[in-house]
Structure 1
Amino acid sequence: MTPAERMAVRLTQHSRRRVDFDLLAAAAEEGDSSLPTSPHRRSILAAAAGELVSRNLVTLPRGKEGWDTSAVPPLPRWVSQTAGPRPRQRPAALRAWVRELSFASRLRLSPADRELLDPINSQLRDTPQTEILPLAERSYLLYRDEKRLSGIEKNHLVKSGLLDITAHLRARPTPPPLAMFEIGSAPWMLIVENSATFASLREVLHTWPDRSQIGWLAYGSGDQLVASIPTAADAFEERDHPVTDILLYGDLDIDGLECGQQTSARSVEVGLPPVEPAGGLYQALLEMPPRALAPTSPKRVKAAIAWLPEPIRARAEALLTSGEILRQEALPLPGLRQHLYCGQPLLPQLRDVRAQLPHGPRRSDVGNWVGRSENAAPAGSDHDSPAAA
């Protein structure tokens, strides 16, 4: 179903003429888990609203107060269902539900609910013990659409505990694997949010003289990281290289900090260590010039910075509430080399906040900066083995 079709179904469930557009947006997102975070979300929702208008199902607000103009394109705050009698819907045909879905006989099911449950009911009737498959494969077998079950965990039947993905759908989520590289043998992993900073830190770690101080280096960001963190456990087991510490270094902005909190919670849920901030790197990043961005509410900032080490929380809070952020790219390769000294253990430099941090290059320490040297292990050495979790 298209976003407009899902919105149209949701409209049939409301007897009042005015319907909040947020409810229709939620219906559009229910069948597409990528839509809530898509950079084209507003354009897709605006196009769907326009299609409802062209089908004479709704009218849009006329006054400015009826529109959300905080971003482009503007979106209506509500829609009004068109006046006039609707065609009477035929009562749904009685359906014999299998025992596992007996709850369906007690509910007032929407057309979308029936569309979802009918193939599942047939599967449970005909092949109740069919093998549990990846969700996209089961989705194709049931609906001839590999993305139909994407985001099924947000469906109201699943959230209420009535419909179970494993027992009823006979499926399991298969998030994309976390991109991981086993550079050394140390029992820790550093996750980096942006590809440029990942490349720079990989270069720094390649030239570290003591490979036993280095562990895993991974790349992941946003919702994909939260979904992918469980797959790291498979890589640890396959390589017989478990970890006791997982660090994350991302952008110093609201999204980056909230991603750290969500990833940490998910990591603990699947039996991995909590994801901690790479405090030493964040402290170095705070020394760099910020860029402007619209200020975030102080309440949201306060909740997000709670993930950071206490010594740098106040600086991060002042940065974000003043309408500034720091992207990882603000601390480039030379700055990373300056911050990480090969004469000191590596993990504390990544994780711990220091009492003082130098401002600008310290020329007396140039010889200790981590950089490429003739004695450094080459990038293609056996110590650097990619692992797909």
Structure 2
Amino acid sequence: MSDPLTHRTLSGPLTPRAARLAAELEAWDRRTITLMELWPLFARADPASATRSTRRTDLAATIAALADAGMVVVSKQFDRTAVPPLPAKLTLPAVAVTVTAAALAKAVPWRPELAWAASARLTVGQVGVLQTVNGWLRDRGRDTDVLPLRERSLELFGYEKRLDALICTSLFGPDRLTLPMLRTFRARPPLPVRRVGDGPILLVVENADTFDSLRRRLTATPTAVGHIAWGAGAAFEASVLGIDELDGVHDVAYFGDLDADGLRIPASAAATAAIEGLPAIRPARGLYRLLFEHGITQPGQAPLPEPRAAELAAWLGEHAAAARRLLASAVRIPQESVNAALLVDTVEIWSADL
């Protein structure tokens, strides 16, 4: 017998508040959620409730609406420490309630920009997201303000990182949601840079401690490096665009960890730099040579299949073969192996081949 939840239909559309809580529950990583765990999700789904005296009543009504729609099953145990009583736990159905989502989508008077939602294959939570956008387009459609992504996300959903997650879903794409439709953009993260000389090279360093050690050494020892930047891990994939704000930079060398992320980050930044006409992002050869020679291997890196290991290692050029073997062997080498003392002892070697 099929699960009866898959055949539930709605007598009317869910309220925007209930649909937003449904979206939060769809992202929950377990089949059950306690009342204590539910409160923060409700606060994100309905930020205005935090200051209302009816907050508990609002949650009770929202839970009832989701239960009626087949989105949740309430427990037999209730928290009766206040009025109204609330279920101590909710259980989420194992099967998506697609019929309910379709009925909900068809019941919404969509704006022309979102007309596709009426026939799209969506979850209840996604319909709730689109309902929020629909209301915003209706009420703010003539506004010309453009806000950075997280500011717009906070305005729309009461949670600044909601759009970060949604951009990677099927809700975004051609003829669906777009950043221009929401009058928003990804703000360019800053690239923290220090001037250390007059040379044409910008040296980008993945981690903060190694950045500090190299900054102090390059300040004390003149080299071809004119600027040193802290890549801040994966942030460099976006902050690479800040290179065009630096005067006198004609060459960019990168130094990071020898692991999957440590090689993916500069390769991704290099692709962006090529598209934007910036200087190529290349390996800091002398520093990587030191890392291979003196590096302390650590476990914790999942072994990569040979094709993926070769793809990531290719960016390292002359060190690609050694990096490929490392990536395939389930170990990594942190760049902190090239510490301040080693940099002092070998400065003439690594600085001559940046």
**TM-score above 0.5, yes or no:** yes
SS across alignment from 2:203: strand
Deviations 1:273-300 (A, max 9, x none): 2321111110121111432325613413
Q: Who is 1:56 aligned against? A: 91
1:228 to 239, 245, 252: 239
Per the TM alignment, residue 88 of structure 1 is displaced from its structure 2 partner at its CA by 6.9
**Is 1:149 matched with 2:184?**
no
CA distance in 2, matches of 1:317, 1:89: 47
**Is 1:248 matched with 2:277?**
no
Change (3 A) 1:187 1:327: same
Change (3 A) 1:117 1:279: same
Q: Who is 1:207 aligned against? A: 220
Per the TM alignment, residue 4 of structure 1 is displaced from its structure 2 partner at its CA by 6.5
Change (3 A) 1:242 1:152: farther
CA distance in 1, matches of 2:98, 2:222: 75
**Is 1:137 matched with 2:145?**
no
Q: Percent identity?
A: 31
CA distance in 2, matches of 1:137, 1:98: 23
Q: Is the 8 A contact 2:100 2:124 kept in 1?
A: no
Structure 1: where are the runs of 5+ without partners?
12-27, 32-50, 59-79, 351-389
CA distance in 2, matches of 1:99, 1:10: 36
Per the TM alignment, residue 202 of structure 1 is displaced from its structure 2 partner at its CA by 0.4
Per the TM alignment, residue 180 of structure 1 is displaced from its structure 2 partner at its CA by 1.6
Q: Is the 8 A contact 2:101 2:122 kept in 1?
A: no
User: What are the equivalent positions in structure 2 for 1:224-373 lying under 5 Å apart?
Assistant: 224-233=235-244, 235-236=245-246, 241-293=247-299, 296-299=303-306, 300-310=308-318, 312-341=319-348, 346=351, 349-350=353-354
CA distance in 2, matches of 1:181, 1:105: 53
User: What are the equivalent positions in structure 2 for 1:8-47 lying under 5 Å apart?
Assistant: none
1:5 to 8, 13, 25: 25
Q: Is the 8 A contact 1:177 1:232 kept in 2?
A: no
Q: Is the 8 A contact 2:197 2:225 kept in 1?
A: yes
CA distance in 1, matches of 2:312, 2:241: 22
Q: Is the 8 A contact 2:101 2:124 kept in 1?
A: no
Q: Who is 1:44 aligned against? A: none
Q: Who is 1:380 aligned against? A: none
Q: Is the 8 A contact 2:102 2:122 kept in 1?
A: no
Q: Who is 2:35 aligned against? A: none
**Is 1:91 matched with 2:67?**
no
TM-score, normalised to structure 1's length? 0.61
Per the TM alignment, residue 217 of structure 1 is displaced from its structure 2 partner at its CA by 0.7
Deviations 1:34-71 (A, max 9, x none): xxxxxxxxxxxxxxxxx99x53335xxxxxxxxxxxxx
SS across alignment from 1:136: helix
Per the TM alignment, residue 199 of structure 1 is displaced from its structure 2 partner at its CA by 1.0
Q: Is the 8 A contact 1:251 1:326 kept in 2?
A: yes
Per the TM alignment, residue 97 of structure 1 is displaced from its structure 2 partner at its CA by 2.7
Change (3 A) 1:158 1:292: same
**Please, which moves more after superposition, 149-158 or 275-284?**
149-158
Change (3 A) 1:133 1:81: closer
CA distance in 2, matches of 1:181, 1:3: 44
Change (3 A) 1:256 1:161: farther
Change (3 A) 1:243 1:335: same
Change (3 A) 1:159 1:273: farther
Matched pairs, number: 278
**Is 1:100 matched with 2:113?**
yes
Change (3 A) 1:208 1:175: same
Per the TM alignment, residue 139 of structure 1 is displaced from its structure 2 partner at its CA by 1.7
Change (3 A) 1:155 1:175: farther
CA distance in 1, matches of 2:137, 2:23: 29
Q: Who is 2:85 aligned against? A: none
Q: Is the 8 A contact 2:253 2:284 kept in 1?
A: yes
CA distance in 1, matches of 2:164, 2:132: 16
Q: Who is 2:62 aligned against? A: none
Q: Who is 2:16 aligned against? A: none
Per the TM alignment, residue 89 of structure 1 is displaced from its structure 2 partner at its CA by 7.6
Change (3 A) 1:150 1:243: same
SS across alignment from 2:294: coil
Residue identity opposite 1:248 in structure 2: Y
Change (3 A) 1:86 1:117: closer
Per the TM alignment, residue 90 of structure 1 is displaced from its structure 2 partner at its CA by 9.5
Q: Who is 2:78 aligned against? A: none
CA distance in 2, matches of 1:248, 1:9: 37
Aligned-CA RMSD value: 3.7
Q: Is the 8 A contact 2:202 2:252 kept in 1?
A: yes
Per the TM alignment, residue 163 of structure 1 is displaced from its structure 2 partner at its CA by 1.4
Per the TM alignment, residue 160 of structure 1 is displaced from its structure 2 partner at its CA by 4.7
Per the TM alignment, residue 329 of structure 1 is displaced from its structure 2 partner at its CA by 1.6
Deviations 1:325-378 (A, max 9, x none): 321121212322333329x9x5x521xxxxxxxxxxxxxxxxxxxxxxxxxxxx
